[in-house]
Amino acid sequence: MQLCRNIDFGLTWLCTAPSITTYRVNLLQTTTECYKDYVENLLKGRYKNSPKIYTLNDLPEVLCIGSVQTPETLKPNVKEQREIIVDGCCGAAVLRGAHIYAVGVLAMESGTKLHDIVNVYADLTGKCKKGTNIRFDSDKKVYLGQGRVLMQRYQLFVASGAKTGIAVEMLNTVSGVPSIGDLSSAKALLQNLPSIVCVRVLNPQKNEIILDMCAAPGNKTTHIAELMQDKGLIIALDKTVNRIALIEEKIKKYKFNSINVYAYDATKSFDGKLNNETANDIKPPFKAETFDRILLDAPCSGLGNRPILVVKTTAKMLDSYPRIQRKLINNAVALLKPGGCLVYSTCSINTSENEEIVAWALAQHSDLELEEAVPILGSKALPCEGLTERQRGMMQRFSPDTKKFDTVGFFIAKFVKKPI
Protein backbone atom coordinates (compact mmCIF):
# COMPACT_ATOMS: atom_id res chain seq x y z
CA MET A 1 0.00 0.00 0.00
CA GLN A 2 1.55 3.31 -1.12
CA LEU A 3 0.64 5.93 1.45
CA CYS A 4 2.39 8.97 0.05
CA ARG A 5 2.13 10.12 -3.52
CA ASN A 6 4.47 13.08 -3.29
CA ILE A 7 7.68 11.04 -3.10
CA ASP A 8 9.18 10.66 -6.55
CA PHE A 9 12.61 9.22 -5.81
CA GLY A 10 11.53 5.56 -5.87
CA LEU A 11 11.94 4.77 -2.18
CA THR A 12 8.34 3.88 -1.45
CA TRP A 13 9.30 2.06 1.77
CA LEU A 14 9.79 5.51 3.30
CA CYS A 15 6.06 6.07 2.87
CA THR A 16 5.19 3.22 5.24
CA ALA A 17 5.41 3.18 9.01
CA PRO A 18 7.92 0.92 10.81
CA SER A 19 6.31 -2.28 12.04
CA ILE A 20 7.94 -2.12 15.48
CA THR A 21 7.54 0.45 18.23
CA THR A 22 10.36 0.76 20.75
CA TYR A 23 10.60 2.15 24.26
CA ARG A 24 13.83 2.80 26.09
CA VAL A 25 13.37 1.73 29.71
CA ASN A 26 15.13 3.82 32.35
CA LEU A 27 16.98 1.09 34.24
CA LEU A 28 17.73 3.55 37.04
CA GLN A 29 13.99 3.71 37.75
CA THR A 30 12.62 0.25 36.92
CA THR A 31 13.35 -3.00 35.05
CA THR A 32 12.53 -3.92 31.48
CA GLU A 33 10.45 -6.87 32.69
CA CYS A 34 8.34 -4.66 34.96
CA TYR A 35 7.66 -2.22 32.13
CA LYS A 36 6.91 -5.12 29.80
CA ASP A 37 4.24 -6.38 32.22
CA TYR A 38 2.72 -2.90 32.31
CA VAL A 39 2.53 -2.62 28.51
CA GLU A 40 1.21 -6.18 28.11
CA ASN A 41 -1.67 -5.49 30.50
CA LEU A 42 -2.50 -2.26 28.72
CA LEU A 43 -2.57 -3.94 25.29
CA LYS A 44 -4.61 -6.91 26.52
CA GLY A 45 -7.31 -4.48 27.61
CA ARG A 46 -7.27 -2.79 24.20
CA TYR A 47 -6.82 -5.60 21.67
CA LYS A 48 -8.36 -9.02 21.35
CA ASN A 49 -5.16 -10.32 19.78
CA SER A 50 -2.34 -8.46 21.48
CA PRO A 51 0.83 -7.69 19.50
CA LYS A 52 4.09 -9.42 20.30
CA ILE A 53 6.17 -7.70 22.99
CA TYR A 54 9.81 -8.65 23.35
CA THR A 55 13.24 -7.56 24.58
CA LEU A 56 16.68 -7.57 22.91
CA ASN A 57 19.77 -9.30 24.30
CA ASP A 58 22.15 -6.64 22.93
CA LEU A 59 20.08 -3.77 24.32
CA PRO A 60 18.70 -4.68 27.76
CA GLU A 61 16.95 -1.31 28.10
CA VAL A 62 14.82 -1.79 24.96
CA LEU A 63 11.24 -3.02 24.78
CA CYS A 64 9.82 -3.77 21.32
CA ILE A 65 6.11 -3.82 20.45
CA GLY A 66 5.02 -5.52 17.23
CA SER A 67 2.10 -4.83 14.89
CA VAL A 68 -1.53 -5.77 15.49
CA GLN A 69 -2.88 -6.21 11.97
CA THR A 70 -2.13 -5.86 8.28
CA PRO A 71 -3.36 -2.90 6.20
CA GLU A 72 -5.67 -5.11 4.11
CA THR A 73 -7.93 -5.81 7.09
CA LEU A 74 -9.08 -2.21 7.52
CA LYS A 75 -11.34 -0.29 5.13
CA PRO A 76 -13.20 3.04 5.54
CA ASN A 77 -16.95 3.00 6.06
CA VAL A 78 -17.64 6.03 3.85
CA LYS A 79 -21.45 5.90 4.07
CA GLU A 80 -22.09 5.47 7.78
CA GLN A 81 -19.08 7.21 9.29
CA ARG A 82 -18.08 10.85 9.11
CA GLU A 83 -14.56 12.04 8.35
CA ILE A 84 -11.76 13.79 10.20
CA ILE A 85 -8.91 15.40 8.24
CA VAL A 86 -5.39 15.99 9.61
CA ASP A 87 -2.24 17.32 7.94
CA GLY A 88 0.64 15.17 6.71
CA CYS A 89 2.75 15.63 9.83
CA CYS A 90 -0.07 14.59 12.15
CA GLY A 91 -0.94 11.75 9.78
CA ALA A 92 2.58 10.35 10.04
CA ALA A 93 2.33 10.41 13.85
CA VAL A 94 -1.02 8.62 13.71
CA LEU A 95 0.52 5.84 11.62
CA ARG A 96 3.20 5.50 14.33
CA GLY A 97 0.53 4.91 17.00
CA ALA A 98 -0.31 8.44 18.15
CA HIS A 99 -3.76 9.76 18.97
CA ILE A 100 -4.91 13.04 17.40
CA TYR A 101 -4.55 16.14 19.54
CA ALA A 102 -6.84 19.13 19.09
CA VAL A 103 -4.22 21.20 17.31
CA GLY A 104 -3.86 18.51 14.63
CA VAL A 105 -7.47 18.49 13.42
CA LEU A 106 -8.00 20.39 10.16
CA ALA A 107 -11.58 19.40 9.36
CA MET A 108 -14.54 17.75 11.06
CA GLU A 109 -17.88 17.26 9.32
CA SER A 110 -20.96 18.99 10.71
CA GLY A 111 -23.10 16.67 12.80
CA THR A 112 -20.17 14.73 14.20
CA LYS A 113 -21.05 13.79 17.76
CA LEU A 114 -19.08 12.99 20.85
CA HIS A 115 -17.90 9.34 20.85
CA ASP A 116 -18.74 8.85 17.15
CA ILE A 117 -16.48 6.43 15.28
CA VAL A 118 -14.96 8.36 12.37
CA ASN A 119 -12.75 7.72 9.35
CA VAL A 120 -9.45 9.58 9.64
CA TYR A 121 -7.61 10.91 6.59
CA ALA A 122 -4.43 12.92 5.99
CA ASP A 123 -4.48 15.78 3.51
CA LEU A 124 -1.34 15.59 1.37
CA THR A 125 -2.11 18.72 -0.65
CA GLY A 126 -2.13 21.28 2.17
CA LYS A 127 -5.37 22.67 0.72
CA CYS A 128 -7.80 21.61 3.43
CA LYS A 129 -8.71 24.76 5.36
CA LYS A 130 -8.73 24.70 9.14
CA GLY A 131 -12.30 24.38 10.42
CA THR A 132 -13.81 22.87 7.26
CA ASN A 133 -17.24 21.40 8.10
CA ILE A 134 -18.01 19.50 4.89
CA ARG A 135 -16.44 16.35 3.49
CA PHE A 136 -13.05 17.26 2.04
CA ASP A 137 -12.98 16.05 -1.57
CA SER A 138 -9.50 15.22 -2.81
CA ASP A 139 -7.80 12.31 -4.57
CA LYS A 140 -4.73 13.04 -2.46
CA LYS A 141 -6.19 12.41 0.94
CA VAL A 142 -4.90 9.20 2.47
CA TYR A 143 -6.94 6.91 4.70
CA LEU A 144 -5.23 6.33 8.05
CA GLY A 145 -7.74 4.40 10.14
CA GLN A 146 -10.63 4.82 12.55
CA GLY A 147 -10.95 6.84 15.71
CA ARG A 148 -13.38 7.82 18.44
CA VAL A 149 -14.30 11.52 18.77
CA LEU A 150 -13.45 13.01 22.18
CA MET A 151 -13.90 16.71 21.29
CA GLN A 152 -16.65 18.40 19.28
CA ARG A 153 -16.44 21.04 16.56
CA TYR A 154 -17.12 24.02 18.81
CA GLN A 155 -14.30 22.95 21.13
CA LEU A 156 -11.86 22.72 18.24
CA PHE A 157 -12.78 25.67 16.06
CA VAL A 158 -15.05 28.04 18.00
CA ALA A 159 -14.11 28.05 21.69
CA SER A 160 -11.47 30.59 22.71
CA GLY A 161 -8.11 29.73 24.22
CA ALA A 162 -5.44 27.18 23.34
CA LYS A 163 -6.74 23.94 21.89
CA THR A 164 -5.29 21.17 24.03
CA GLY A 165 -6.01 17.53 24.75
CA ILE A 166 -6.80 14.48 22.63
CA ALA A 167 -9.52 15.25 20.08
CA VAL A 168 -9.69 11.80 18.47
CA GLU A 169 -8.64 8.57 20.12
CA MET A 170 -7.35 6.27 17.38
CA LEU A 171 -8.75 2.75 17.56
CA ASN A 172 -6.78 1.24 14.68
CA THR A 173 -4.61 2.27 11.74
CA VAL A 174 -3.75 0.89 8.31
CA SER A 175 -0.12 0.65 9.43
CA GLY A 176 -0.91 -1.99 12.05
CA VAL A 177 1.03 -0.05 14.69
CA PRO A 178 -0.83 -0.25 18.04
CA SER A 179 -2.79 2.95 18.70
CA ILE A 180 -1.71 3.51 22.29
CA GLY A 181 -0.39 7.05 22.09
CA ASP A 182 2.89 7.92 23.79
CA LEU A 183 3.42 5.99 27.03
CA SER A 184 6.57 7.95 27.89
CA SER A 185 7.20 8.63 31.56
CA ALA A 186 10.13 8.77 33.97
CA LYS A 187 10.26 4.98 33.64
CA ALA A 188 10.44 4.68 29.85
CA LEU A 189 10.71 6.83 26.75
CA LEU A 190 9.28 6.28 23.27
CA GLN A 191 12.36 6.32 21.03
CA ASN A 192 13.39 4.93 17.65
CA LEU A 193 15.58 1.84 17.90
CA PRO A 194 18.58 3.25 15.93
CA SER A 195 18.71 6.28 18.24
CA ILE A 196 19.08 3.92 21.18
CA VAL A 197 21.74 1.91 19.35
CA CYS A 198 23.59 5.16 18.65
CA VAL A 199 24.25 5.84 22.34
CA ARG A 200 25.24 2.22 22.94
CA VAL A 201 27.83 2.64 20.17
CA LEU A 202 29.14 5.73 22.02
CA ASN A 203 29.55 3.47 25.08
CA PRO A 204 29.75 6.22 27.75
CA GLN A 205 31.49 5.35 31.01
CA LYS A 206 31.09 6.69 34.55
CA ASN A 207 33.03 9.85 35.44
CA GLU A 208 33.82 10.77 31.83
CA ILE A 209 33.35 14.20 30.24
CA ILE A 210 31.00 13.85 27.27
CA LEU A 211 29.67 16.31 24.70
CA ASP A 212 26.31 15.93 22.98
CA MET A 213 26.77 18.50 20.22
CA CYS A 214 23.21 18.76 18.86
CA ALA A 215 21.27 17.46 21.81
CA ALA A 216 17.62 18.57 21.53
CA PRO A 217 15.14 17.16 22.36
CA GLY A 218 17.42 15.34 24.82
CA ASN A 219 16.49 11.69 24.30
CA LYS A 220 20.06 10.59 23.61
CA THR A 221 21.40 12.94 26.30
CA THR A 222 19.32 11.27 29.00
CA HIS A 223 20.28 7.84 27.69
CA ILE A 224 23.95 8.78 28.09
CA ALA A 225 23.25 9.85 31.68
CA GLU A 226 21.50 6.56 32.41
CA LEU A 227 24.39 4.48 31.09
CA MET A 228 26.82 6.59 33.16
CA GLN A 229 24.55 6.09 36.20
CA ASP A 230 24.40 9.90 36.40
CA LYS A 231 28.08 10.02 37.37
CA GLY A 232 30.35 12.27 35.31
CA LEU A 233 29.70 15.38 33.21
CA ILE A 234 27.56 15.64 30.08
CA ILE A 235 27.48 18.91 28.16
CA ALA A 236 24.39 19.24 25.96
CA LEU A 237 24.35 21.93 23.27
CA ASP A 238 21.63 23.19 20.97
CA LYS A 239 21.54 26.58 19.33
CA THR A 240 17.77 27.09 19.70
CA VAL A 241 16.56 28.31 23.09
CA ASN A 242 13.11 26.74 22.69
CA ARG A 243 14.65 23.35 21.98
CA ILE A 244 16.96 23.69 24.98
CA ALA A 245 13.81 23.91 27.11
CA LEU A 246 12.88 20.39 25.95
CA ILE A 247 16.17 19.03 27.29
CA GLU A 248 15.78 20.88 30.59
CA GLU A 249 12.28 19.45 30.96
CA LYS A 250 13.62 15.90 30.59
CA ILE A 251 16.46 16.57 33.04
CA LYS A 252 13.93 17.73 35.61
CA LYS A 253 11.65 14.75 35.00
CA TYR A 254 14.47 12.23 35.31
CA LYS A 255 16.23 14.15 38.13
CA PHE A 256 19.66 14.03 36.52
CA ASN A 257 22.59 15.90 38.05
CA SER A 258 25.26 15.11 35.47
CA ILE A 259 23.89 17.17 32.55
CA ASN A 260 24.70 20.84 31.88
CA VAL A 261 22.73 22.45 29.05
CA TYR A 262 23.72 25.46 26.93
CA ALA A 263 22.02 27.29 24.09
CA TYR A 264 25.02 27.43 21.80
CA ASP A 265 25.87 26.92 18.12
CA ALA A 266 27.98 23.74 18.02
CA THR A 267 29.68 24.85 14.78
CA LYS A 268 31.40 27.49 16.95
CA SER A 269 32.03 25.30 19.98
CA PHE A 270 35.84 25.13 19.59
CA ASP A 271 38.02 28.12 20.45
CA GLY A 272 41.66 27.57 19.52
CA LYS A 273 42.78 30.54 21.62
CA LEU A 274 41.75 28.89 24.88
CA ASN A 275 44.17 26.84 26.96
CA ASN A 276 44.41 25.40 30.47
CA GLU A 277 45.12 28.85 31.92
CA THR A 278 42.31 30.71 30.15
CA ALA A 279 39.59 28.03 30.34
CA ASN A 280 38.92 26.79 33.85
CA ASP A 281 35.21 26.04 33.50
CA ILE A 282 33.84 23.50 31.04
CA LYS A 283 31.38 25.65 29.14
CA PRO A 284 31.15 26.77 25.51
CA PRO A 285 33.27 27.62 23.67
CA PHE A 286 35.70 24.90 24.69
CA LYS A 287 39.45 24.48 24.53
CA ALA A 288 41.05 21.70 22.52
CA GLU A 289 40.88 18.09 23.71
CA THR A 290 38.24 18.66 26.39
CA PHE A 291 36.04 15.59 25.91
CA ASP A 292 36.44 11.84 26.34
CA ARG A 293 33.54 11.10 23.98
CA ILE A 294 31.44 13.17 21.62
CA LEU A 295 28.04 12.37 20.15
CA LEU A 296 27.27 14.21 16.92
CA ASP A 297 23.73 13.39 15.91
CA ALA A 298 23.98 15.93 13.13
CA PRO A 299 21.32 18.24 11.69
CA CYS A 300 20.17 16.48 8.53
CA SER A 301 17.44 16.29 5.91
CA GLY A 302 15.49 13.79 8.03
CA LEU A 303 14.73 11.67 4.97
CA GLY A 304 14.71 8.52 7.04
CA ASN A 305 11.93 9.40 9.45
CA ARG A 306 9.16 7.06 8.37
CA PRO A 307 6.48 7.40 7.29
CA ILE A 308 7.05 10.40 5.01
CA LEU A 309 3.67 11.46 3.67
CA VAL A 310 4.72 14.80 2.20
CA VAL A 311 8.19 15.90 1.05
CA LYS A 312 8.97 19.57 1.67
CA THR A 313 12.76 19.34 1.44
CA THR A 314 14.21 21.21 -1.55
CA ALA A 315 17.41 20.49 -3.48
CA LYS A 316 18.91 23.66 -2.02
CA MET A 317 18.15 22.45 1.51
CA LEU A 318 19.71 19.05 0.76
CA ASP A 319 22.90 20.72 -0.43
CA SER A 320 23.15 22.77 2.78
CA TYR A 321 23.33 19.88 5.24
CA PRO A 322 26.75 18.40 4.31
CA ARG A 323 28.34 21.85 4.74
CA ILE A 324 27.01 22.08 8.30
CA GLN A 325 27.94 18.47 9.04
CA ARG A 326 31.55 19.04 7.97
CA LYS A 327 31.82 22.14 10.20
CA LEU A 328 30.52 20.16 13.15
CA ILE A 329 32.97 17.31 12.58
CA ASN A 330 35.88 19.77 12.40
CA ASN A 331 34.87 21.17 15.79
CA ALA A 332 34.34 17.70 17.24
CA VAL A 333 37.77 16.45 16.21
CA ALA A 334 39.45 19.48 17.79
CA LEU A 335 37.51 19.00 21.04
CA LEU A 336 38.14 15.26 21.34
CA LYS A 337 40.91 13.93 23.55
CA PRO A 338 43.48 11.59 21.95
CA GLY A 339 42.10 8.07 22.32
CA GLY A 340 38.58 9.42 22.60
CA CYS A 341 35.68 8.44 20.35
CA LEU A 342 33.28 10.38 18.17
CA VAL A 343 29.95 8.88 17.07
CA TYR A 344 28.40 10.46 13.98
CA SER A 345 24.78 9.75 13.10
CA THR A 346 21.88 11.04 11.02
CA CYS A 347 18.29 10.07 10.38
CA SER A 348 18.83 10.58 6.66
CA ILE A 349 19.21 8.01 3.87
CA ASN A 350 21.39 10.24 1.66
CA THR A 351 24.95 9.06 1.02
CA SER A 352 25.98 12.74 0.78
CA GLU A 353 25.12 13.13 4.48
CA ASN A 354 26.44 9.76 5.58
CA GLU A 355 29.09 7.70 3.75
CA GLU A 356 30.47 10.71 1.88
CA ILE A 357 30.83 12.65 5.14
CA VAL A 358 32.73 9.73 6.69
CA ALA A 359 35.05 9.46 3.68
CA TRP A 360 35.64 13.23 3.81
CA ALA A 361 36.36 13.14 7.57
CA LEU A 362 38.93 10.36 7.19
CA ALA A 363 40.65 12.21 4.34
CA GLN A 364 40.54 15.57 6.14
CA HIS A 365 41.67 14.37 9.57
CA SER A 366 44.64 12.00 9.54
CA ASP A 367 44.26 11.48 13.30
CA LEU A 368 40.84 9.86 12.83
CA GLU A 369 40.21 6.19 12.17
CA LEU A 370 37.04 4.15 12.00
CA GLU A 371 36.13 1.70 14.73
CA GLU A 372 33.39 -0.91 14.47
CA ALA A 373 30.08 0.63 15.55
CA VAL A 374 28.99 -2.13 17.93
CA PRO A 375 26.45 -3.38 18.75
CA ILE A 376 25.65 -3.79 15.05
CA LEU A 377 21.94 -4.27 14.53
CA GLY A 378 21.81 -2.64 11.10
CA SER A 379 23.24 -3.37 7.64
CA LYS A 380 26.61 -2.26 6.32
CA ALA A 381 27.09 1.15 4.72
CA LEU A 382 26.54 1.79 1.03
CA PRO A 383 29.39 1.80 -1.52
CA CYS A 384 31.21 5.14 -1.58
CA GLU A 385 34.41 6.41 -3.14
CA GLY A 386 37.08 6.64 -0.46
CA LEU A 387 35.69 3.80 1.68
CA THR A 388 36.88 0.21 1.61
CA GLU A 389 34.64 -2.83 1.88
CA ARG A 390 35.98 -3.40 5.39
CA GLN A 391 35.13 0.16 6.41
CA ARG A 392 31.60 -0.22 5.06
CA GLY A 393 31.13 -3.16 7.40
CA MET A 394 32.25 -1.10 10.39
CA MET A 395 29.37 1.36 9.98
CA GLN A 396 25.66 0.60 10.00
CA ARG A 397 22.51 1.67 8.21
CA PHE A 398 18.93 0.92 9.16
CA SER A 399 16.58 0.34 6.21
CA PRO A 400 14.38 -2.45 4.81
CA ASP A 401 17.60 -4.38 4.20
CA THR A 402 17.77 -4.68 7.98
CA LYS A 403 15.19 -7.45 7.86
CA LYS A 404 15.21 -8.16 11.60
CA PHE A 405 14.34 -4.58 12.56
CA ASP A 406 11.80 -2.67 10.47
CA THR A 407 12.51 0.80 11.79
CA VAL A 408 13.39 4.31 10.57
CA GLY A 409 16.19 5.08 8.10
CA PHE A 410 19.33 5.85 10.11
CA PHE A 411 23.13 5.91 9.81
CA ILE A 412 25.83 5.40 12.47
CA ALA A 413 29.61 5.66 12.26
CA LYS A 414 32.19 5.59 15.06
CA PHE A 415 35.58 7.34 14.86
CA VAL A 416 38.50 7.07 17.26
CA LYS A 417 41.10 9.83 17.59
CA LYS A 418 44.52 8.25 17.46
CA PRO A 419 46.63 8.67 20.61
CA ILE A 420 49.59 11.02 20.26
How buried is 229 (Cβ within 10 angstroms: 0-12 exposed, 13-18 middle, 19+ buried)?
A: middle
Bridge partners of 101, per DSSP, are 166
Q: Which residues 6+ apart lie within 8 Å of 111 measured at CB?
A: 82
Q: Which residues 6+ apart lie within 8 Å of 281 measured at CB?
A: none
User: Which alpha helices (DSSP H) does 255-405 contain, by range?
Assistant: 315-335, 355-364, 389-394
Query: Is residue 319 marked as binding?
Result: no
Provide the annotated active-site residues.
347
Query: Is residue 238 marked as binding?
Result: yes
- What does each C-alpha distance from 66 to 104, 139, 182 come to in angstroms? 26, 31, 15
Report the alpha-carbon distance of residue 252 to residue 262 in Å, rounded. 15
Query: Is residue 87 marked as binding?
Result: no
Residue 418: CB atoms within 10 A of its CB come to: 12
SS3 168: strand
Residue 329: CB atoms within 10 A of its CB come to: 24
Query: Is residue 220 marked as binding?
Result: yes
Report the alpha-carbon distance of residue 93 to residue 330 in Å, rounded. 35
Select from 157, 169, 75, 160 the least CA-distant residue to 108: 157
Residue 339: CB atoms within 10 A of its CB come to: 11
Q: What are phi and psi of 272, to 5 degrees?
A: -70, -10
- What does each C-alpha distance from 11 to 69, 139, 163, 184 come to in angstroms? 23, 21, 36, 31
Residue type, 220: K
Report the alpha-carbon distance of residue 386 to residue 398 in Å, rounded. 21
Q: What are phi and psi of 388, to 5 degrees?
A: -85, 170
* Torsion sign over Cα 101, 102, 108, 112: positive
Report the alpha-carbon distance of residue 104 to residue 84 in Å, rounded. 10
Bridge partners of 118, per DSSP, are 147
Parallel, antiparallel, or unpaired for β 259-263 and 209-212?
unpaired
Q: Which residues are annotated as a binding site for S-adenosyl-L-methionine?
A: 214-220, 238, 265, 297
